[in-house]
Amino acid sequence: MSEEKSGKNSLSRRDLLKFGSLAVAGAAAAGALTACGPKSDAGGSAGSASGGATPEAITYSAGHERRGLPGFLVAPEPLKAEETKDFDVVVLGAGAAGVCAALSAAENGAKVALVQKGSEAICQGNAGAGINLEKSNPAHVSALVASIIKNNQHRATYDAVNLWAWNSGEAVQWVLDRTQPIIGNYKAQDGTPCEATDIANANNAALLGSTKWELLFVTSNFAPKPTNAGHGMMALAQVAADAGVEIFYSTEAKQLVKEGDRVIGAVGEQDGKLIQFNGSKGVIVATGDFQNDDEMMGYYLPDCRYFDRKQWGKTGDGHKMIIWAGGKMEDIGHTKMLHDFDAGPASMCDMPFLAVDYYGNRFVNEKEAGMSLLNNYLRGTSNDDAGWYVQVFDSKYYDHQDWPGMKAPTSAPEYLQTAVNPEVNSDGHIKGVFTDLIRTYNAATLEELADKLYGKQPNAADAKKNFLASVKRYNELVAKGVDEDFGKDAKWLTPIESGPFYGIYRHLRLSCGAMSGVVVDGKTHQCISVDNQPIPGLYAVGNIASGFYGGVDYPLDVFGMSLGRCYTEGYVVGRDLAKS
């Protein structure tokens, strides 16, 4: 039994009562504090990411990490800056939302500071979706908004989603217009130049085909891999600098500064020097999620404990700053994003093929749970087995042209056998994929396929045995026309019997740890206090802001939603604040 589950550190009733009083006291104190938590360690662990740690020992009572009052709610003493710089608008964080906010504010007449912890602008992903309102049916735009809210378990807000829906086409086109002239100057490490194109409805053909909605998406796509939206934001940051935005790279925002109830600026540290950045109109926080702060993840998203994380440096700095300035977090539970569009084609991620786990066993009704939900079945018991699963199918899969996504070029056998086959594309001679992450195999026999998929695992012998047994059982159910094990509709039961046989070994990892954040007004994105009042001078955009999601998992109904939302909120809030 692992130490975490041994119960050695379990809380007594007295400890629990103590925890409750601490939490109440901490929540009351948080509204009066203005400081952000100190810098995290290189690994982003919670122990050092959250300053002023309480003396309570770490416990795993009820299976979740707790340590009395969470360390990230404990504010250090306010910092005294050595220098002050004055601006109209201060933006913290140079990601998809922050760079857009800074440039938008500058283009609308504001003097802007953009403060970035890293040495350059950062972002991930490729596509950012918006709606071309001139070429879309307004009723169908509203229907899409309602659908997005429904798919977020009715916990998203109309104000937040409507802000995206009715402004996103303009915002995404603005990003494309600003970046396209210079994007070729930004290259991946292998020399691949980035391109910025509008792929329109390409990513959302399945959605439009099933709903018959009359919508035209404006979809920015920074590609091909290994380039991505990070290169796009580097280009946009250069455009911002040329427009007069003063960018402070390698400058970590440490705390917000208040005069009375109003946030007037932020203190950042650059080369050991503390600088206060004042924003007469306001401060926009756009620092992203908190997947690399283990304590915050353990507190808000304990079911992600064993999943690998794709990003680094995302330590919830903005959340902490806002909480200590009197803001509040969204109600639990928080939305998480886990997917794998690299092992095999994104167009096939929700195909209802047989799915088997790290151990070779079938584990789900493949039609009822697409990729965005499979993490709930694959939480694992260690980093070794969490998030791994295989989609299994045979050579006749391409006959199912009525399946969503099957008509995409990336779903064709030729693509599977070349672009995403590590046995023939290990040297990266086919562009558009991360060659070290592709895992789409084919083999003449199921035994050979099992060896390619599982042969290098510690449990290879058992996994291969289970894999072959799972395929055999699945074929028996297909022959019966009834899925007695998981209840999948007979329409989606297809045999695995004609070689070559295929297996896509996907690995779900955290792309965004908590797409939930501090509570904001959905129309203005002004932060809301613990007593439900707007905090003057303080705004939050992107993945740090509330209201856009709300379900357990990030929905994949609209591809490109995450980046499209960040671009739009930054564009709108930066513009409106500059004009205020």
CATH, residue 413: 3.90.700.10
Do residues 339 and 372 touch, judged by C-beta distance below 8 A? Answer: yes
Rounded distance, CA 508 to CA 555, Å? 15
pLDDT band with cut points at 50, 70 and 90 for residue 3: very low
8 Å CB contact between 550 and 52? no
3-class SS of residue 436: coil
Whether residue 258 lies inside any domain: the answer is: yes
Q: Point out the domain boundary residue: 507, 531, 558.
A: 507
Whether residues 435 and 547 share a domain: the answer is no
pLDDT in tens, 305-319: 999 999 889 999 999
Residues 389, 240 share a domain: no
Q: What is the pLDDT of residue 343?
A: 97
Domain boundary among 507, 534, 552: 507
Residue pLDDT, tens place only, 109-144: 999 999 999 999 999 999 999 999 999 999 999 999
Is residue 195 assigned to a domain? yes
Are 275 and 367 in a shared domain?
Answer: no
Closest to 230 measured CA to CA, from 371, 99, 134: 99
Rounded-to-integer distance, Cα 567 and Cα 431, Å = 26
Per-residue pLDDT tens for 46-103? Answer: 333 334 444 467 776 666 666 677 888 888 789 999 999 999 999 999 999 999 999 9
> In this structure, is residue 78 part of a structural domain?
no
**Co-location of 349 and 300 in the same domain:** no
Burial class for 197, CB neighbours closer than 10 Å (0-12, 13-18, 19+) = middle
66 within some domain: yes
Could you tell me if 390 and 356 are in contact, meaning their C-beta atoms sit under 8 angstroms apart?
yes
Question: What is the span of the domain harbouring residue 132?
Answer: 83-337+512-579
Q: Report which of residues 49 and 434 the model is more confident about.
A: 434
Residue 188 and residue 88 share a domain: yes
Do 399 and 493 fall into the same domain? Answer: yes
pLDDT tens-digit readout, 266-283: 999 999 999 999 999 999
For the stretch 371-418, pLDDT in tens is 999 999 999 999 999 999 999 999 999 999 989 889 889 999 999 999
pLDDT band per the 50, 70, 90 thresholds, residue 19 = very low
* The last residue of a domain, from among 55, 73, 91: 73
CATH code of residue 103: 3.50.50.60
Distance of alpha carbon 135 from alpha carbon 146, whole angstroms: 19
Supply the pLDDT for residue 467. Answer: 98
The model's pTM is 0.86
Residues 573 and 556 in one domain: yes
Beta bridge mates, 388: 507
CA distances from 199 to 164, 187, 210, 291, 469 (A): 19, 20, 19, 30, 42
| Residue 292 maps to a domain | yes
Residue 124 gets which letter from DSSP? -
- Total domain count for the chain? 3
Residue 64's pLDDT is what?
66
Residue 29 has pLDDT above 60, yes or no: no
Statement to judge: residues 414 and 478 lie in one domain = yes
Whether residue 115 is found in the same domain as residue 100? yes
Residues 322 and 454 grouped into a single domain: no
Q: Kindly state whether residues 103 and 214 are assigned to the same domain.
A: yes
Tell me the average pLDDT across 482-488: 98
DSSP 3-state of 516? coil
* 521 plus 495 within the same structural domain: no
